[in-house]
Amino acid sequence: MSINPQRRAFLRQSAVSMTGLTSIALASSLQPTLLRGNERKIARSVIFLYMSGGPSQVDTFDPKPALATYSGQNVPESIARNVPPIKRSGLNNIMPSHWSFQPHGESGIPVSELLPHTAQHADDLCVIRSVKHLNPVHGPGECVCLTGVAGGDRPSIGAWTTYALGNINENLPTFMAMNIHSDGMQFPQRAGWSTGFLPAKHQGVVINPATGIKFTDLPEDTPQQRRIQQLQLLDFLNEKHRKDKLNADLLQARIKSYEMTAKMQVAAPELFDWETRESEATRILYGIGKENSHETGVACLMGRRMVERGVRFIQIRVGGWDAHGNIKSNHSRQAARTDKPIAGLLRDLKQRGLLTSTLVVWAGEFGRTPTMEGTANGRDHSPNGYSIWMAGGGVQGGQIIGQTDDLGYVATERPVSPFDYHATILAALGIDPAKLSYNHLGREETPLFNDGAVIEEVLA
Amino acid sequence: MLSLLSSLCRLLLAFSVLAFFQAAAHAQTPQNFTIGNWKKTSSNTSQFFIIQGNLNRQTPLQAPLEPAISQNSFFIRYTLKYPAEHIDQPPESSGEFFILWLDDTEGNETSGHSNQTPNIGVHVDKNLKNKYMIRFSSPRQAFASELRGDQSTQLVAHISKSKPGIENPYDKIALWINPKVVQRDRPDTQLQVSNARVSTIRWLGFSTGVKTETTDRITVGDIQIAHNWEELFGIRMQTKVTAPKPLTMPKPSISFAKDVVPILQQRCFQCHQGVNKTGFRLDVADEVLNQTTPFAAGTSELIHRINASDETKMPPEGERLSPDEIKTLSVWIDEGMRWDEVLFPTPKLTSEHWAFQPIQTPVIPAKPKHGRTAIDAFLAKQQKQLGVTPNEVAPIETLIRRLHLTVTGLPPSPEFLELVLKVEPANRQDWLDQQVKTLLATRAYGEHWGRYWLDIARWAESNGHQHNRFRPDAWRYRDYVISSFAQNKPFNLFLKEQIAGDEISTGDDHVIATGFLSAARYSGNNLDKQIQRNEILVDVTNTTASAFLGLTMECAQCHTHKFDPISIRDYYRFQAFFAEGQPGSVVLEEGREAAPQLIAEYWNLFDQTKGRVYQELKKKGSPEPIYVAPETVNRRIPNSDRAFYNQLKKQLDALPKAWGWYSTQSDYLSLPVAPHLMRWPLERERTALYQRPTYLLIRGDITNRGPEVEPGVPSVFAQIPVDDKPRLTLANWMTSPDNPLTARVWVNRIWQGHFGRGIVESSSDFGTQGTTPSNQDLLDYLASELLSHDWDTAHIHSLILNSHAYRQAATQQTTALERDPNNSSWWGWNPYHLHSEAVHDSILQVSGSLTSLLGGPSRQPDNVTKVRSIYLESRRNTPSYLNEVFDGPTTSHSCSRRSQSISPLQSLYLLNSKFTHQNADKIAEVIGAKTDKIEEQAATAVLSVLGRHIRADEQPTVVKFLQETSLKDLCLVLLNSNEFIHVN
């Protein structure tokens, strides 16, 4: 199957839709040279499931029987010597996982019994067990996860994506972010949907999946007919104002944005109206209506609805994974919040034929230590070697990439960085990240920063 | 001990022998007094040393001093708490007795330690009152105030020898009860004896006596010995500690000149010597540092490359280096990578780049016909070369709106329009010149331009990062900035106060001004104190360089700048100016009398509780006291102290404070720093600020130290001596008339503030990668005007605002657009989008709802608050919706110029938000009350919102709309119009 004609059509469409806007339209990004592997299956949308707080790799996707063997003991020197001397990385009191692992699917990828629903999609998952970086703190870690750097001053991966590919449906924002369960101390980091040095228009729009995009409802005293009259007068005044003016493009673009407003006002309520438009079966599939999984369920369902409507990048941040104390109850709660909705999302995308064009990424800002933190039966932060997964468009599922040591502490094989998986996301979208650049302070900035590289094995 | 531990951690991180020696050397200067392990001879003591009597003489607690003390004078302090219910009052009973003794012998459990040796405690005086007391023996006592029950009382004693010398005895004691830091010369009592015995103190301990009952529960803690008064208060020692000299490195086994150079010459220099096309030089020390990690050959790129066999190998062709050669280079790096500057000197960085050349006062070209100020002459010359002619003057109503918006961020009132229309058309431009002066003296100007500066200063009212704690006192810097503009403070002074206020004086304005430095983000969740400090220093360095000098130094943090003449060494030398300081909650003048006591009491209680919690955790196996978070301590304050603690917190909250910068250079005695609680704050002891040598960090990695550096300006500039006020030195250099950057950068920012685009478009990057000035003569003219007018910002404003360039119309000319499509010669006015604050403030202004405010703590943004945006709370990570969609500043990094994005979300907000509807309603209401004639209503609405009279060609359409809809609808449409949303 060749996707080229469709893709070319889309590029033309993007190019057309972008020329109307004055902000830098990145014409060059639409040149074929930017694309890589044209024959390859590629995704056109991304759903990034960001698990805030740091899920434990050894309790989810990286089984380590040795934890039980060495329970209560200190980390042996052979492993400890590779653990970077960062404050959080405790070396005493190894703690076994509370959950057992079973191989799943044809690929036999082991998934913890904590995530039974996700496990059913093992053959779709490409699990990367060897992500590592150096920042063991949530805020900077979140920035590393989503922008590559702790200061968060580079573009988020969502911003790079929309910068590269533009929008599919101009009636909706190109990049939307939902922050679910962001209670407690892990405040969402704005950098995660910001643009860094890229033009501001590429930033993500934060929306509450329950209420939708702000200000799309017509005020009570403004019937539709009245709005049409308002826009007509506005257009009349704006055209007069624009006549013979310098910077007419800018003024024209703003006039056009009012046309888009009207369309968005129709498109957004339709998008967010899942309650009357989705079946009971779908709700059950996503765990909607169930106490624990409702919120993530709605967000994931919105994710699918956005994909269907051509939203390019969807970020769903689910907070609460910070299991310093009692990891058993914490991760059980988090699994109850996320497992069914995420599995439901994968299933739903698949049954609608959307999984081949939608890349789904699941990642925390770091993993957790194989040791117990203090005495509270929890695990501390550990960015030394943790697991993420990718599934769907552009990705070869049913495989595991990278390894950690026997305790799951440090990545030992095929270590990769957040810049690497960002590059891989772009590659899965058909973009060559090395050629995607933006001139900032005289430097041709790319999503690779200094040494990021595509994890080629991930790609289909 | 803790600092030694962290030093050791650093050692492990860095694998750096040098770092270890230096850390060890630092730990020894000055030598700290250490109290050894407390020996508890009674089970009646706990970590808090709760002591009870036994109706006998006893010493339940004692400890050795390591080393012993024999110096001429020292201070000792402890905190004592006596339960009121247990205080026996003579003559009904015997009264109380309790002492801390200092002796040369250990004694035994029942020793008195009152044989001509210092005692500090409580005893009954002649009048049968329980009093705080000092003594050498029973008959030689002196008393201070009466013992007060239930209160933590701090006893501070100065113990000294009247005859200096190691062999002479300690014969003098002075005692302070709950002293304030300013009471150094006013002890509560003192005592001198002639028959003192002890010349060296080896032991100290607490004793009770026959008067102390078994029911007594006496709490002691916070026992501390110090060299001097200030150290006891955790403040700066009088004599500045001189940084220890780096220890000489171990004798090398490899000679750079004899062993290393021949290898480099034979195997590397063919490609990597001098300026070469590979981009890598191996004949310059700082550039070799980019490829190596001193003391760690194993992690050095250079070694990886010569060992490699893939395409990264070096040399790329020909014979590999021999194992011996590789070994020589490895050992050379492992021994610290010695360099011979005589053999291979660091080349003097020079630059032909325009911005680094002195500012020349250019000759003003002939004034053109339309010209109003010299600016027009410079532009006319450029326009002539390009073959373009500038636009005519803009219509007067457009011009006055433009003037008000770029100067004050608010549109003019309709009354102002009436006023100007009364002036003869021929005189209006000159009349406006006068109005410029008036506008530049308004607070509204301070508010608008203050906001511009706050963008550059990346100011916000929270720490940023994950916890993003609120900074309740940050607003003072905002007010300082506003009034600095409103008062037209000379820019050089404005700069100095912000960079070095605390070094100039401890006056409130100076302390508040350092809010520029302390506006840096601050991660409260970082356990690694070095990374935490480094993040702040990097932020301060980068922001200072870009805000004032237009230098993008951040690249040089990791490697010598690829384009600009700034080396990695320059970066760390620049950073060293700031190295001995940190942000904090500095108490202002009004609170300085009360603060030291409150702060000391607070930390005293805090530390006691922390110690107790730590002991509990330690028993459970938790490794380090650092893991005891302040929140935990807050929760665990003992119930008996809870009320007192809460009161202390309340009093501390009430003190006037600024979120400022304090350092070893600021006058500590006068600058108390209040607690700013976050989970893992920076080290609070001021002594922690000393001995902060700055190291060049290899690839910007804090764990990877290169050589130590001293403060200095970038080497491309003439070097200056740095004295003991390093930041003031820096500020003086930045504002010296010879500095080629500061004045240029500032006048360019002023230009951008009016025109929306600078003469140098990259207004925070004047380096080689920045845009070139569209008219350098013009830029230099303005810069030299600034210098010759004593950095008078208003003067530059006036030159710009009175120019024809500023006053011309926004008309598009076909020919000009062809010949100068980017309008680089400013042949016409480029309309631009209002900033988010101006959108908000203008809407409130035209609806007559704007409430003026003279500063003060920030207000909550809601639909009820109608103050200018600059007074609304500005927290990092959670910008207002208006800032979110209308390109507000990031607040995490310096923002030199707002984006101008266009999105339907902006339009949705303006069309549908409660805010715009409320204000449209309000305008309609006011107009409706004035007239019910449709035509008049239409005209008044246009006048109120757009600041001009309705035009004949739009009047019928507007009136028709009004007939079919409502006045409010018209106002809403006008608020949405491009004309309203742009500076036209």
Rounded to a whole number of angstroms, the CA Rg of chain A reads 23
Q: Which domain covers residue A242, as residue numbers?
A: 218-270
**Strand B172-177 to strand B153-160: parallel, antiparallel, or no bridges (unpaired)?**
antiparallel
Candidate from A188, A233, A264 with C-beta closest to B961: A233
Helix (H) or strand (E) segment spanning residue B173: strand B172-177
The partner residues of B173 in beta bridges, in order of sequence, read B159, B191
Please tell me whether the peptide bond between B740 and the residue prior to it is cis, using omega within 30 degrees of 0.
Answer: no
The partner residues of A212 in beta bridges, in order of sequence, read A208
Average pLDDT over chain A reads: 88
Which band of pLDDT confidence, cut at 50, 70 and 90, is reported for residue B856? very high
- 3-state DSSP helix/strand/coil % of chain A, to nearest 5: 40, 15, 45
Task: Give pLDDT, residue B730.
Answer: 97
A282 min Cα distance to partner chain B (Å):
30
The reply to whether CATH 3.40.190.10 applies to domain B39-226 is no
CB-based contact B51:B615 (threshold 8 Å):
no
Return phi, psi of residue B378, to 5°. Answer: -65, -40
For residue B960, the Cα-to-chain-centroid distance in whole angstroms is: 58
Distance in angstroms (rounded) separating the CA atoms of residues A333 and A337 = 6
Q: Does B15 touch chain A (CB under 8 A)?
A: no
Is the model's pLDDT at B140 over the cut of 60? Answer: yes
CB-based contact B105:B202 (threshold 8 Å):
yes
Residue B536's nearest CA partner among B653, B678, B724 is B678
Q: Does B962 touch chain A (CB under 8 A)?
A: no
Number of domains composing chain A:
2
**Strand B673-674 to strand B581-587: parallel, antiparallel, or no bridges (unpaired)?**
antiparallel
Which band of pLDDT confidence, cut at 50, 70 and 90, is reported for residue B697? confident
Please tell me whether the peptide bond between B315 and the residue prior to it is cis, using omega within 30 degrees of 0.
Answer: yes
Residue A206 structure tokens: 């934060």
Residue A169's nearest CA partner among A306, A303, A355 is A306
For residue range B510-544, what is the model confidence (pLDDT) as tens digits?
999 999 999 999 988 777 777 888 889 999 999 99
* Domain identity same for A241 and A138: no
Distance in angstroms (rounded) separating the CA atoms of residues B304 and B295 = 15
Distance in angstroms (rounded) separating the CA atoms of residues A194 and A157 = 9
Average pLDDT of span B975-980? 97
Residue B947 structure tokens: 């600041």
Q: Return the axis-axis angle of helices B934-946 and B414-422, rounded to nearest 10°.
A: 90
- What are the DSSP calls for B167-203, one per residue? TSPP-EEEEEES--GGGTT--SEEEE-SS---SSEEE
- Residue B775: count of CB within 10 angstroms of its CB: 20
Q: Does A353 touch chain B (CB under 8 A)?
A: no
* Domain identity same for A319 and A340: yes
Residue B61's nearest CA partner among B75, B73, B78 is B78
* Domain identity same for A291 and A258: no
* Domain identity same for A228 and A187: no
**Strand, helix or coil at A76?**
coil
- What are the DSSP calls for B17-44, one per residue? HHHHHHHHHHHHSSPPP-B-PPEE-STT
Please tell me whether the peptide bond between B737 and the residue prior to it is cis, using omega within 30 degrees of 0.
Answer: no
CB-CB under 8 Å, A214 with B905: yes
Distance in angstroms (rounded) separating the CA atoms of residues B893 and A441 = 15
Candidate from A85, A254, A441 with C-beta closest to B552: A441
Helix (H) or strand (E) segment spanning residue A367: strand A367-368
* Domain identity same for A178 and A314: yes
Distance in angstroms (rounded) separating the CA atoms of residues B853 and A94 = 59
The partner residues of B289 in beta bridges, in order of sequence, read none
Distance in angstroms (rounded) separating the CA atoms of residues A71 and A447 = 41
B464 min Cα distance to partner chain A (Å):
9
For residue range B545-591, what is the model confidence (pLDDT) as tens digits?
999 999 988 877 776 666 778 888 899 999 999 988 999 999 999 99
For residue range A102-160, what is the model confidence (pLDDT) as tens digits?
999 999 999 999 999 999 999 999 999 999 998 888 888 999 999 999 888 899 999 99
Helix (H) or strand (E) segment spanning residue B218: strand B218-226
Q: Does A273 touch chain B (CB under 8 A)?
A: no
Spatial CB neighbours of B709, under 8 Å, sequence gap ≥ 6: B569, B572, B573, B576, B694, B695, B696
A151 min Cα distance to partner chain B (Å):
9
For residue range A160-183, what is the model confidence (pLDDT) as tens digits?
999 999 888 889 999 999 999 986
**Strand, helix or coil at A94?**
strand
- At B305, the amino acid letter reads R
DSSP structural state of residue B862: S
Distance in angstroms (rounded) separating the CA atoms of residues B438 and B416 = 13
**Strand, helix or coil at A291?**
coil
* Domain identity same for A99 and A203: yes
Candidate from A90, A261, A375 with C-beta closest to B911: A261
Task: Give pLDDT, residue B178.
Answer: 85
**ipTM for the complex shown:** 0.79
Q: Does B810 touch chain A (CB under 8 A)?
A: yes
* Domain identity same for A363 and A437: yes
Rounded to a whole number of angstroms, the CA Rg of chain B reads 35
Q: Which residue, of A254, A270, A286, is where some domain finishes? A: A270
Q: Which residue, of A232, A249, A270, is where some domain finishes? A: A270
**Strand, helix or coil at B982?**
strand
A122 min Cα distance to partner chain B (Å):
33
Q: Tokens 């434990």 belong to which residue?
A: A56
CB-based contact B512:B586 (threshold 8 Å):
no
Is the model's pLDDT at B172 over the cut of 80? Answer: yes
- 3-state DSSP helix/strand/coil % of chain B, to nearest 5: 45, 15, 45
**Strand, helix or coil at B657?**
strand
Residue extents of the structural domains in chain B: 39-226, 454-606+616-734, 914-983
Distances from the Cα of A57 to the Cαs of A203, A317, A388, in angstroms?
30, 18, 8
Residue B319's nearest CA partner among B267, B396, B279, B385 is B267
Nearest residue of A to residue B823, measured between CA atoms: A246
* Domain identity same for A266 and A277: no
Task: Give pLDDT, residue B690.
Answer: 63
Q: Does B13 touch chain A (CB under 8 A)?
A: yes
* Domain identity same for A35 and A59: yes
Q: Does A234 touch chain B (CB under 8 A)?
A: yes
Average pLDDT of span B459-481? 93
Candidate from B626, B908, B973 with C-beta closest to A234: B973
Is the model's pLDDT at A3 over the cut of 60? Answer: no
Average pLDDT of span A419-439? 94
- At B899, the amino acid letter reads S
Spatial CB neighbours of A393, under 8 Å, sequence gap ≥ 6: A41, A42, A43, A44, A45, A355, A356, A357, A358, A359, A428, A429
The residue of B563, B766, B976, B982 whose CB has the most chain A CBs within 10 angstroms, and thus the best one to mutate to test that interface, is B976
Spatial CB neighbours of B225, under 8 Å, sequence gap ≥ 6: B33, B35, B65, B69, B74, B75, B76, B77
Give me the torsion for CA of B587, B590, B593, B597, rounded to 10°.
-40
Is the model's pLDDT at A186 over the cut of 80? Answer: no
* Domain identity same for A260 and A277: no
* Domain identity same for A198 and A119: yes
Task: Give pLDDT, residue A280.
Answer: 96
Distances from the Cα of B117 to the Cαs of B71, B104, B156, in angstroms?
16, 9, 17
Is the model's pLDDT at A12 over the cut of 60? Answer: no
Q: Does A342 touch chain B (CB under 8 A)?
A: no
For residue range B719-736, what is the model confidence (pLDDT) as tens digits?
899 888 899 999 999 999
User: What percentage of chain A has pLDDT greater than the value 90?
Assistant: 69
The partner residues of B143 in beta bridges, in order of sequence, read B133
The partner residues of B175 in beta bridges, in order of sequence, read B157, B189
Q: Does A152 touch chain B (CB under 8 A)?
A: yes
For residue range B814-833, what is the model confidence (pLDDT) as tens digits?
999 999 988 999 999 999 99
Please tell me whether the peptide bond between B91 and the residue prior to it is cis, using omega within 30 degrees of 0.
Answer: yes
Distance in angstroms (rounded) separating the CA atoms of residues B802 and B813 = 23
* Domain identity same for A186 and A230: no
Q: Which residue, of A247, A270, A293, is where some domain finishes? A: A270
Least confident range of B448-462, B477-491, B603-617: B603-617
Instruction: Please identify among residues 19-78 of chain A the ones whose CB lies closer than 8 Å to any CB of chain B.
Output: 21-23
Which band of pLDDT confidence, cut at 50, 70 and 90, is reported for residue B137? confident
Compare B11 and B963 and report the one with higher pLDDT: B963
Average pLDDT of span B684-708? 73
Return phi, psi of residue B764, to 5°. Answer: -105, 10
Distances from the Cα of B817 to the Cαs of A102, B381, B386, B676, in angstroms?
70, 17, 11, 56
- At B710, the amino acid letter reads E
